Amino acid sequence: MLSSIILYAFLLAFPSAAKGQWDASRFTWYTSPASDFASSVPIGNGRVAGTVWGGASELVSLNENSIWSGPWRNRVNPKALGALPSIRSLLSSGNLTAAGQSVLANMAGNPTSPQGYQPLGNLSLEFEHSSSGMSSYTRYLDTYEGTAFVTYNYAGVNYTREYIASYPAGVLAVRLSSSQAKKLNVKVSLSRSKWVLDQHSNSSSSIVGTNSIILKGNSGQSSGAITFSSEARVVNHDGTVSSDGKSISVTSATIVDLFFDAETSYRYSSQTAWEVELKRKLDAAVTSGYNEVRSAAISDNTALIGRMSLDLGSSGSAGNQPTDTPITNYKGSPNNDPQLATLMFNFGRYLLVSSSRDTGGSKSLAANLQGIWNKDFSPPWQSKYTININIEMNYWPAEVTNLQETHAALFDLLDVARMEMATNMYGCTNGGFVLHHNIDLWGDAAPTDYGTPYMMWPMGGAWLSLHLMEHYRFTGDKSFLQNRAWPVLQSAANFYYCYLFTHNGSWSTGPSLSPENSFVVPSNMETAGKSEAIDIAPTMDNSILYELLNAVIQTCNVLGITDSNLTNTKNYLSKIKPPQIGSKGQILEWRNEYAETSPGHRHMSPIFGLFPGSQMTPLKSSSLAAAAKALVDNRMSHGSGSTGWSRTWAINLYARLFEADTAWSNAISFLQKFPTNNLWNTDTGPGTAFQIDGNFGFVSAIAEMLLQSHQVVHLLPALPSAVPTGSVKGLVARGNFVVDITWSGMALTSATITSKIGGTLAICLQAGKAFSINGAIYSTPITATAGGVYTIRPV
Ligand SMILES: *[C@@H]1O[C@H](CO)[C@@H](O)[C@H](O)[C@H]1NC(C)=O
Ligand SMILES: *[C@@H]1O[C@H](CO)[C@@H](O)[C@H](O)[C@H]1NC(C)=O
Ligand SMILES: *[C@@H]1O[C@H](CO)[C@@H](O)[C@H](O)[C@H]1NC(C)=O
Ligand SMILES: *[C@@H]1O[C@H](CO)[C@@H](O)[C@H](O)[C@H]1NC(C)=O
Ligand SMILES: *[C@@H]1O[C@H](CO)[C@@H](O)[C@H](O)[C@H]1NC(C)=O
Ligand SMILES: *[C@@H]1O[C@H](CO)[C@@H](O)[C@H](O)[C@H]1NC(C)=O
């Protein structure tokens, strides 16, 4: 009786996995287990995460986002401050090679690298099944609900495994089942290949017991190590439990549930404290039970993910195939499968929700280079926070695709990162902060790595600060602006008021670089013909300063600040060098038109002002936009877009230039070259490093084609001719306007704009087509009321 009640509940809980027609925009699915990490399916609650491999013996690669390789270290080079004046004078006098050498000798951090992200360990489930005995196998990820599912037949019995990461409960939850009563046998264990402090299990023979497996580990240092405790609770319903001290086995069961959590020293001051929290979460999950944890997790996911929907056309039967097939077929015939782009968009938003949440307290952690999923102790680029493009790109979709809450984790990280580097390296004691091109979970802001094209770049903090301003621009949340954004923006700007020096009449950065590019030293400078990277005031620095100082001015205007914070900022802004245009009509990358060592460089740094900045956007300056186009065209014709994130940056840039078809053709190239079978972005294609930035850059790029909002709410600014018909719901424009658009035959059918907070609403349709708003011909901006809904139709 007990088991039939449970079975009934089970059948209610699961949607049919044997779907006649899969929603090709929503599910990634496979007919075999993952053969590698890049075909496992990811789940995460913004702090604890796993990827499901789905083999006969299950492997779930586990992560907790504060398990990194060790404690904070003071890596500041003590010679840096003393060397600054001489390096500047070398740069000013054109002795670039000597300046670069001095930067390496005096400014590199020691050690050169901050800490790196580490795996937690593995959850293993042994079913006594062999691969050859499994049939009718299906594994899927539902990007809407956030469930991962594995099902197959074995010896005439249907087995299922369902996984979900719960943000409200703070745990991972798993339900295992067999279609016939008492056919499920499973042995559960946790393991880790390094620095295990304690691993054991406790078993209990009660019907609903708290059988637990505990894994404790640390980052390996004798003092200050990051230490964690993790635990899996095995909830037995109708089986028999036993333990061998390391694992728990349940035999002759119909359903077995698991809950998993990990807590670390990063967020708690004592082991007692984090273990209390571990126990609290797991006790609560066990008490609620699987169905309740599951449904609350789904409600939470769908509340965020369901704010938006996108339809770029149906793929018909081409979409009804396991995801690895369209990934392959798309390389040859992309036009048969418009839904792959939609799936990639939905998957990207799902990844952001899964890897970046406000997880309580003030120490949420942002999505890193691999989001939150990493199986290696030496992951590519340490899977840390690279902030000369990659982590910023992670958050490009956050506001425009209506996932503004996910941004909070980045703001927390920025608070942690605002440490003493400005004083220690540059002697600035006015409360300013500086970050270079990488940080770790401690916000370690010292220069990273050892090389002139990347290490000495004092702009990472300023760029990240702009994310708080964008959050305000999208939400209109004045209390956020006052309490959260303003202190950060002020501190970011203060650094430059101390640090900048005057060169040829402009406030200039230096030593700095244009990430991660190099140039050939010209004949009138030292050492002519050599490749160098360190210089004064590269264009990107000036463009970031332009955005930062404008953000400060806008903040002062909104908050009614009229003191010297405002006048000082205006004075500085007037002496930041504007973008210069070179001999090919392109935005210049450096202070002189140096010969480029790699004209097809992957970074688009000089046109930061086009995207993500606003300085070079076409409605603001058609001449700068044209010069930005010349730069990106030149880069692309020489092979840029060579990494996944670089390609998605190009799509965003072309969309912002209203170059719709070029944007779309780059979106196609991206999908053809970079995603793995589980749709993760890679460095240069499957088999190379997983990097999540390109997943997020792809999402913002699609949004950018359909809606922009710099001077105006711009509907369908870059609609590709390959997508003549479609619809989007729930995009967000600056000013907190929620926008739904339906189009057909390359023209608007109708749109609704919902104003969340009221305010001036200026609208542009495509390249300036006429339209009506609530039945009246639109001619000038209107004053929207909070909650007002405005219907736009073509006329
Ligand atoms: C097993 O049963 C579940 C629940 O009814 C169903 O979704 C799934 O498709 C079945 N799997 C197989 C392999 O028959
Ligand atoms: C460049 O700087 C190096 C190191 O200080 C010095 O040896 C060299 O003479 C300088 N070159 C010029 C042209 O000043
Ligand atoms: C997880 O298991 C895999 C496969 O056995 C192994 O290669 C890997 O090292 C394990 N990971 C950790 C973090 O222990
Ligand atoms: C499991 O057993 C260990 C060792 O006896 C003990 O320290 C621990 O508290 C037990 N854990 C649970 C959850 O009962
Ligand atoms: C100094 O600035 C002026 C005006 O912006 C410019 O014409 C000149 O080329 C600059 N000189 C150097 C050495 O950069
Ligand atoms: C900027 O404003 C702060 C208060 O927010 C004030 O303490 C500070 O003196 C001002 N700084 C300048 C340069 O006016």
173-202 pLDDT per residue, tens: 999 999 999 999 999 999 999 999 999 998
Per-residue confidence (pLDDT) for residue 204, from 0 to 100: 74
Q: Are residues 61 and 100 in the same domain?
A: no
CA-based end-to-end distance of the chain: 66
Q: Are residues 121 and 110 in the same domain?
A: no
**From 6, 16, 27, 32, mutation site for ligand 1 pocket: most ligand atoms within 8 A of C-beta:** 16
Percent of the chain whose predicted confidence (pLDDT) is above 90: 94
Q: Are residues 437 and 490 in the same domain?
A: yes
Q: Which residue's C-alpha comes closest to atom 2 of ligand 3?
A: 122
Q: Are residues 707 and 588 in the same domain?
A: yes
Q: Which domain holds residue 7?
A: 2-69+116-305
Per-residue confidence (pLDDT) for residue 12, from 0 to 100: 37
Per-residue confidence (pLDDT) for residue 18, from 0 to 100: 44
CA distances from 476 to 3, 356, 760, 789 (A): 53, 22, 12, 17
Cα-to-centroid distance, 564 and ligand 6 (Å): 7
Ligand 3: nearest atom to the Cα of 61: 1
pLDDT over threshold 90, residue 650: yes
Number of domains in the chain: 3
The residue with greater pLDDT, 87 or 21, is 87
Q: Are residues 559 and 574 in the same domain?
A: yes
Q: Is 289 left (phi over 0), alpha (psi -120 to 50) or beta?
A: left
pLDDT over threshold 60, residue 13: no
Residue 158 makes CB contacts below 8 A (sequence gap 6+) with 151, 152, 178, 179
Here the CATH number for the domain that contains residue 210 is 2.70.98.50
HSE-up (13 A, CA, CB side) for residue 789:
4
pLDDT over threshold 70, residue 10: no
Q: Ligand 3 pocket, 217 CB below 6 A?
A: no
Over range 651-676, report the average pLDDT: 98
Any domain includes 142 = yes
* Entry field: residues in the chain: 795
Q: Are residues 584 and 525 in the same domain?
A: yes
Q: Ligand 5 pocket, 504 CB below 6 A?
A: yes
Query: Rounded to an integer, what distance in angstroms lies between the CA atom of residue 225 and that of residue 216?
Result: 12
Any domain includes 483 = yes
Q: Are residues 504 and 526 in the same domain?
A: yes
Per-residue confidence (pLDDT) for residue 234, from 0 to 100: 96
Show the ligand 2 pocket: residues with CB < 6 angstroms.
90, 95, 98, 526
| Chosen domain end from 667, 688, 711 | 711
pTM: 0.96
Any domain includes 320 = no
Q: Are residues 399 and 416 in the same domain?
A: yes
Amino acid identity, position 355? S
Q: Ligand 6 pocket, 569 CB below 6 A?
A: no
Helical residues (DSSP H) of 37-95, grouped into ranges: 80-92
* Partners of 503 in beta bridges: 506
pLDDT over threshold 80, residue 15: no
Ligand 5: nearest atom to the Cα of 592: 14
Any domain includes 321 = no
Show the ligand 1 pocket: residues with CB < 6 angstroms.
14, 16-18, 136, 151-153, 158, 160, 179
Per-residue confidence (pLDDT) for residue 17, from 0 to 100: 43
Question: Which ligand gives the minimal distance to the CA of 524?
Answer: 2
Over range 467-493, report the average pLDDT: 98
Backbone angles phi, psi at 345, to 5 degrees: -65, -50
Question: Which ligand gives the minimal distance to the CA of 234?
Answer: 4
Here the CATH number for the domain that contains residue 90 is 1.50.10.10
Any domain includes 324 = no
Q: Are residues 697 and 735 in the same domain?
A: no
Q: CA 121, 127, 128 angle in degrees (round to 5)?
A: 120
Any domain includes 629 = yes
Render the burial of 123-147: b for 16+ CB within 10 Å, e for the rest: bebebebeeeebeebbbbbbbbbbb
Any domain includes 310 = no
Per-residue confidence (pLDDT) for residue 449, from 0 to 100: 97
Ligand 1: nearest atom to the Cα of 158: 1
**Radius of gyration (C-alpha) of the chain in whole angstroms:** 27
Over range 202-231, report the average pLDDT: 88
Here the CATH number for the domain that contains residue 750 is 2.60.40.1180
Residue 460 makes CB contacts below 8 A (sequence gap 6+) with 387, 388, 434, 435, 436, 437, 438, 439, 445
Residue 3: band (very low, low, confident or very high) from pLDDT cuts 50, 70, 90: very low
Closest alpha carbon to 161 in 48, 256, 237: 256
Q: Are residues 649 and 771 in the same domain?
A: no
Percent of the chain whose predicted confidence (pLDDT) is above 70: 97
Cβ neighbour number for residue 3 with a 10 Å cutoff? 16
| Chosen domain end from 281, 305, 329 | 305
Cα-to-centroid distance, 232 and ligand 4 (Å): 12
Q: Are residues 383 and 298 in the same domain?
A: no
Per-residue confidence (pLDDT) for residue 206, from 0 to 100: 57
Ligand 1: nearest atom to the Cα of 138: 13
* 350-406 per-position pLDDT tens digit: 999 999 999 999 999 999 999 999 999 999 999 999 999 999 999 999 999 999 999
Query: Rounded to an integer, what distance in angstroms lies between the CA atom of residue 293 and that of residue 259?
Result: 10
Over range 734-744, report the average pLDDT: 98
Any domain includes 716 = no
**Mean model confidence pLDDT for the chain:** 95
| Chosen domain end from 684, 711, 738 | 711
Cα-to-centroid distance, 405 and ligand 6 (Å): 29
Contact indicator for 679, 696 with CB cutoff of 8 Å: no
31 class by beta-carbon count within 10 Å (0-12 exposed, 13-18 middle, 19+ buried): middle
Ligand 5: nearest atom to the Cα of 577: 5
Q: Are residues 7 and 24 in the same domain?
A: yes
Residue 317: band (very low, low, confident or very high) from pLDDT cuts 50, 70, 90: confident
Lowest mean pLDDT: which of 76-85, 301-310, 317-326, 519-528?
317-326
794 class by beta-carbon count within 10 Å (0-12 exposed, 13-18 middle, 19+ buried): middle
pLDDT over threshold 50, residue 7: no
**From 190, 199, 200, 276, mutation site for ligand 4 pocket: most ligand atoms within 8 A of C-beta:** 200
